[in-house]
A and B are shown apart, each in its own frame.
Chain A
Amino acid sequence: MLTNITIGQYYPADSPVHRLDPRFKLVSALAFIILLFFVGNIWGFIFTAVCVFAVIKISRVPPLFLLRGLRGIIFILLFTAVLNVFFTPGDTVLLQFYFLRVTLEGLALAGKMAARLCLLIVGSSLLTLTTSPIELTDAIEYLMKPLKRVGVPAHEIAMMMTIALRFIPTLMEEMDKIMKAQSARGADFDTGGVVKRARALIPLLVPLFISSFRRADELATAMEARCYRGDVNRTRMKELKLSRMDLRAIPFMVLYAAGIFALNFI
């Protein structure tokens, strides 16, 4: 069930994109998302799509794998498209039934929004697919460092993210097990009204909570036993270092941004 979700999954491979500094990738991904909103016409979208496709090729992530990630947002995609098609005011009316009318402007906007959403999802999945969760948290920790001075616990936030990522599969497995065990005792999670279903969750949630607390307690003990004391006197095995490749990638990013703005004038 979890295997259908590509967002947040890591696709291990050895590619130039994988080897880029996670901080660079994170900043680039943010820039990419912001730039998407400056894309004004079809040429801009084509340019972006070509660039994204080039990065996918370089990253060695199978394009199908990425496209499958879009399946999850099909509903949102359709919903916004329908809204845009029918409710965009415009002059060039193509079709009209009663109060619903389809305009050329509406179709154009719907197309743009859909393209934007797709590119947004594909672009940001590229980040998580090519960056291991731990690199990503390291990057977040590093980029939040300046905020430490104003009291933001950057290290703790990053550590919590790591632990959460580590335990998601474990807890999913556990939930599946408890669900089956309670089903074996005649519990029914699938039928009945809202209240009945909510009540049916108690035998599932209570054991899950208890086990999470037990795990948290044991994990804390294990971390302490391995001399963890927060961010005091701590080093990292993997130091984040900008490499030649990152430096080479920077001009590409800048050119891409320039291209987006330039294409708006066509």
Chain B
Amino acid sequence: MEIIRTESLVFKYIQYNEDNAPEAPPALNGIDLSVEKGLFTAVLGRNGSGKSTLAKQINALLTPNEGTIWVNGIDTHDASRVWDVRQSAGMVFQNPDNQLIATIVEEDVAFGPENLGVPPRQIRERVEEALNAVDMEEYRRAAPHHLSGGQKQRVAIAGVLAMKPSCVVLDEPTAMLDPAGRREVIDTIIRLNKEEGISVILITHFMEEAVRADRVIVVDHGQITIDGPPREVFKQVEAMKSLGLDVPQATELAYILNARIGAAILPSDLLTMNELTDALSAVADGAEKPASIPVRAKPAAVKDYKPILEIKDISFIYNQGSAFEKKALDGVSMSITRGEFIGLIGHTGSGKSTLIQHFNALLTPTSGQVLFNGADIRADKSKLKSIRQRVGLVFQYPEHQLFEITVLKDVEFGPANMGLSADEVRERAEQALAAVGIEPALFEKSPFELSGGQKRRAAIAGVLAMRPEILILDEPTSGLDPKGRDEILEQIRFMREEMNLTVVLVSHSMEDVAKLAERVVVINHGRIAFDGGPGEVFSHVSELEAMGLAAPRPAYLMRALRRAGWDVPERIFSLADAADALTPYLNHRWNGGYYDK
């Protein structure tokens, strides 16, 4: 039986162009799709590809302009059965805050069945069942704003489950969560699919989530371009990359290695690091172990070894003296040298956001000192502005701070606050925009007309225009699609080199940190747990995992290979380094005469 079927589905959002004439570029352009009941389907596609529009069609929030979609056998054009459609295909959205309606968890879960007119006693039973299913029973009386992101999303899923749907559509439910929250939500979704037999349609930007699906559908320009089981889809590395998407790291590494060796020695449809380990072991089976291969050392930046920022034993307590007192930082000391690139990691609530707000005096430490170029930043209140200009802080989702009429004016806000001349302000703004790759054609547009990635870059330019000496970025890639993420990271690397910046990158993504940072600082429970080079810090795998963090995935591969008796270096954290380390080894195996070609 199929739960969803579409026939040449076309949908257009009506827009008005500059002459106020209606324009309708198709968001969905002839979708023919059939989804079997009980399957876990992942939908991938870059931002603007039409995948969210497709999700809204399934829930009858939008109905096709042309063609038809049947949900559970019901044509969504049939206005009299809209509620049946929405009941059978529940929907969970991206922002956990903007879909919870009630002030108490159980009331929120009850919202759906209440709307369906279910008798009160049954609603109670359903709420209890639904909260049990997502493992949120103990929070039934909690207020949503006291929950973590992952918990909120699980409540949202419970709210849908209480309506007894046969299918759940999730539109990037993990985009705004930290890795721990992401795992909670995905595990819940998979359990519902496997144990309760609920069909799941998951829209996501995370390939590691898509790998666990039964079927992967790639949408681009309103059409389905690739469709099949994850193995079949992800082996098309080139095609996926050209669509602005990623493939799992194991798949990519196998692809790189095959390309370097010049032969398909590894299967192209590997999905996990475990599979890759097995495949590599099979290739090396019975052969002698080659000698250790030197690792490419990261080029060290030129530093003058003078600390630009010194944190001296700071502690910070929120709501001191009230019932809600909370110690966020507990005796943190660190020193940042000019020219360094630091990755700051820690799970949500570890205190890392609190810490960076001390760097530019947005928060005053309860005890301890912050020194900038040797002077206490709190000593002279009149210099606060100058401190904030020299220590640039880019918050998470910085695009939410845009407010001006044009992009240029918004970026000028910072330098204008510094009291510079109009010419100087303009020059700095233009330079900053150029540095983040925003073309002059966009300068006079409203910031709200830009795409998601462009908005974020414009917002970063807003801080950059003040010409800070040190730039702190809090989760600069969260919520972006793979292409947008890579662009931002590349931009950060570029800016750092061009402008000789000191950078502190706060991130949940170990892969991002491993790729860029020369020093990694780990915060846990308001204290510094580790501080050192990536090699040293990421070698504490089990300690990191106990903190809800992880080492970058290539490190796990190297560890597994070493256990299997390979003499590969242990401290490898990026795909490029892993490929460099493995290539000579495989070359030796493959082209060295042990195998017949």
A-to-B contact residues, CB < 8 Å: 3-4, 12, 132-134, 162-163, 165-166, 169-170, 173-174, 177-178, 180-188, 202-203, 206-207, 210-211, 214-215, 218-219, 221-229, 233-239
Contacts and interface: CB of A to CB of B under 8 A. Distances in A.
B103 A162 contact: yes
Given A186-B413, A214-B98, A227-B112, 19 more contacts: A3-B322, A134-B103, A134-B107, A170-B145, A178-B401, A181-B393, A184-B362, A184-B392, A184-B393, A186-B385, A186-B418, A203-B413, A207-B401, A219-B98, A226-B86, A227-B115, A229-B115, A234-B114, A237-B107
A185 B463 contact: yes
A57 to B, nearest CB: 20
B61 to A, nearest CB: 6
Contact of A169 (B91, B145, B463): B145
Interface string B384-422: 010011001101001011110000000001100110000
B463 A226 contact: no
Nearest to A180: B362
A123 B504 CA distance: 52
Contacts of B127: 237
A166 B123 contact: no
Interface string B111-133: 11111111110011001000000
B219 to A, nearest CB: 20
Contacts of B362: 180, 183-184
Contacts of A132: 103-104
B116 A227 contact: yes
B319 A184 contact: no
Contact of A237 (B123, B160, B360, B388): B123
Contacts of A206: 403
Contacts of A202: 403
Contact of B466 (A185, A233, A234): A185
20 contacts: A3-B319, A3-B323, A132-B103, A132-B104, A163-B101, A166-B100, A181-B395, A186-B413, A186-B414, A186-B417, A203-B401, A211-B400, A215-B98, A218-B98, A222-B91, A227-B115, A235-B114, A236-B120, A237-B110, A239-B120
Contact of A188 (B102, B145, B385, B466): B385
Interface residues of B, number: 66
Contact of A183 (B93, B119, B388): B388
B206 interface: no
B305 interface: no
Given A225-B59, A226-B163, A166 B395 contact: no
Contacts of B160: 226
B29 interface: no
Contacts of A162: 101-103
A190 to B, nearest CB: 10
A186 B393 CA distance: 11
Main secondary structure, interface of B, reads: helix
Contact of B86 (A177, A183, A225): A225
Interface of B: 59, 61, 83, 86-87, 90-91, 93, 95, 97-104, 106-107, 110-120, 123-124, 127, 141, 143-145, 159-160, 163, 319, 322-324, 357, 360, 362, 385, 388-389, 392-393, 395, 398, 400-403, 413-414, 417-418, 448, 462-463, 466
A149 B451 CA distance: 48
A163 B102 CA distance: 7
Contacts of B141: 12
A227 B83 contact: yes
B64 to A, nearest CB: 17
A166 B116 CA distance: 22
A210 B115 contact: no
Nearest to B392: A184
Contact of A186 (B95, B101, B159, B389): B389
Nearest to B398: A181
A222 B99 contact: yes
Contacts of B323: 3
A207 B395 CA distance: 14
A169 B398 CA distance: 20
Contacts of B414: 185-186
Contacts of B403: 202-203, 206-207, 210
Given A186-B466, A225-B86, A226-B159, A237 B113 contact: yes
Contacts of B389: 186
B144 to A, nearest CB: 7
A239 B118 CA distance: 12
Contacts of B101: 162-163, 166, 219, 222-223
Nearest to A170: B97
Nearest to B362: A180
Pairs of residues from A and B, 7 with the lowest C-beta to C-beta distance, nearest first: A186-B417, A206-B403, A222-B99, A237-B110, A218-B98, A185-B414, A237-B123
Contacts of A222: 91, 93, 98-99, 101
Contacts of A224: 61, 86
B28 to A, nearest CB: 17
Given A210-B448, A235-B118, A227 B100 contact: no
Given A177-B395, A186-B414, A236-B120, A229 B114 contact: no
Residue among B90, B123, B389, B400 with the highest chain A CB neighbour number at 10 A: B400
A56 B357 CA distance: 41
B360 A184 contact: yes
Contacts of A228: 111, 115
A202 B107 CA distance: 36
Q: Which of B116, B159, B389 has the most CB of A within 10 A?
A: B116
The listed residue with most A CB atoms (<10 A of its CB), out of B91, B102, B402, is B102
A232 to B, nearest CB: 9
Given A134-B102, A185-B463, A210-B448, A218 B324 contact: no
A184 B448 contact: no
B91 A225 contact: yes
A196 B323 CA distance: 36
A210 B410 CA distance: 15
A165 B322 CA distance: 22
A146 to B, nearest CB: 22
A174 B400 CA distance: 10
Contacts of A183: 362, 388
B413 A226 contact: no
Given A162-B102, A184-B360, A226-B159, A234 B117 contact: yes
